[in-house]
Structure 1
Amino acid sequence: MDLTQQSVAPRGGSSSPAAAGPVAPAVSGPGPADRVRIVLREPFRAETWRRMAYIVLALPVTLLCIPLALAGGPVGRIQRGLARRLLRVDAGEPARTGPLALVHAVVSSPLNLVALTVCGYFWTIVVINFGFPLRTDGDPSHSWGGPTMAGAWAVHAVGGGVTFLFLTPWVAKGFTDLQTRLVSGFLGADRTGLARHTWIALGIAAVCALLSVPVIHQL
């Protein structure tokens, strides 16, 4: 046998594409057009209005749960049920929540108040700016976009109505995401990050309370 005719296997493995196996396609995130579509459809999704319903109901429910928790009532089950029905969040059911149910009701109340106030104020801006002709005395000469009613209405509808129409759902989403974490931490089976989320909730409530002072003075 001629040794010069012996084939030598290539070092470093096969260079054949077939031997290397199929190459997984690169996964890309949403493009700019997809992001625009997501933003534009957010105010009209059922999930957005479920979040708003949760924000509206969360404050009275937590306030009612404070005396109910002191009386040993099923506070955890009530608040988990509210989050499950409106936010589609299953926090799980621990063996018992004990005093954590009362702590959650007390801690989450300031955040729920801020969420309701901020989102309610933003939706009010949407309504009063789209309905600008209904709230004036008929003389828009000193209004933004004046002196014509059409110009003033266009400026208010776009600057206030449209802007806050698409901004408010994302603000509501931020509040409900944090509210969900508090429900899962205090009343669910997963306590991961509970202390951090509690401090974030209290911090947001404090900052919003300070920012509300100049707003109230302008009313």
Structure 2
Amino acid sequence: MSPSMTPIRRTLRTAARAFLALPAGLAAVVLTLTGQPGRAARLRARLTGGDGWTGRRLLARAVLGLPLDVVAFVLVGYALFNSVRNFGYPIWYLDTDYHQAWGGPTMAGVWAVHGLGWLLCLAVLLHWPVRRLAGGQRALDRRLTSHLG
């Protein structure tokens, strides 16, 4: 990642890579087992930004990285789902009585509380776990591309 990239773009890119590691790993396994390790290696290289992926390394990455990839997929998926839900609060809960909701009695207040509250949650609570999970995924990728023959 370039040093000129803003922190928000860097965070979004890190979260996207962490989220896509599980589907990309499963696709790489399927491609490798169906005799297309070249396509699988290109897929993994596009996600990780590195090369040196062989069929054996791809299978090892899928097996060894499964716990990290599943946790990252669930955590980032949860954040995406709740982002759509909270930022689109007026759309999803238009027919409910929002006068008693947090931020009420106006819909603008409810939307502000839910949107800003969730944004704060994303920035404070979810940023660090996703960053650590992505760091673990990158460390596993580096180790596998440099140590397996």
TM-score (normalizing by structure 2): 0.70
**Structure 2 residue aligned with 1:58:** 21
Alignment of 1:1-219 (within 5 A): 42-43=7-8, 45=9, 47-70=10-33, 73-74=37-38, 75=40, 78-84=43-49, 90=50, 93=52, 99-136=56-93, 137-160=95-118, 162-167=119-124, 168-186=126-144, 188-190=145-147
RMSD: 2.9
Query: In the aligned structure 1, how far is the partner of 2:141 from the partner of 2:107?
Result: 48
| Superposition deviation, residue 154 in structure 1 | 2.7
User: Runs of 5+ in structure 2 lacking a partner?
Assistant: 1-5
Q: In the TM superposition, what is the alpha-carbon distance from 1:81 to its structure 2 partner?
A: 4.2
Contact 1:128 1:135 in 2 (8 A): yes
Q: Judging by fraction of residues, say which structure has more helix.
A: 2
More relative contact order, 1 or 2 (CA 8 Å, 6+ apart) = 2
Once residues 67 and 127 of structure 1 are traced to their aligned partners in structure 2, the CA distance between those partners, rounded to angstroms, is 31
CA contact (8 A) 2:103 2:112 kept: yes
Bigger shift: residues 135-144 or 175-184: 135-144
Matched to 1:143, the amino acid is: A
> Does the residue aligned with 1:151 lie in a helix, a strand or coil?
helix
- Whether contact under 8 Å (2:18, 2:137) holds in the other structure is no
CA deviation digits over 1:11-52, x for unaligned, max 9?
xxxxxxxxxxxxxxxxxxxxxxxxxxxxxx633x2x333323
Contact 1:123 1:165 in 2 (8 A): no
Q: Distance in 1 between matches of 2:80 and 2:55?
A: 37
Corresponding residue number in structure 2 for 1:198: none
TM-score (norm 1): 0.51
Identity %: 35
Matched residue SS, 1:189: helix
Cα 1:99–1:93 shift into 2, 3 Å: closer
Aligned-residue offset at 1:117: 1.9
Contact 2:41 2:58 in 1 (8 A): yes
* Stretches of structure 1 lacking an aligned partner (at least 5 in a row): 1-40, 85-89, 192-219
User: How many residues are paired up?
Assistant: 139
Superposed displacement of residue 182, structure 1: 1.0
Question: Which protein has the larger Cα radius of gyration, Structure 1 or Structure 2?
Answer: 1
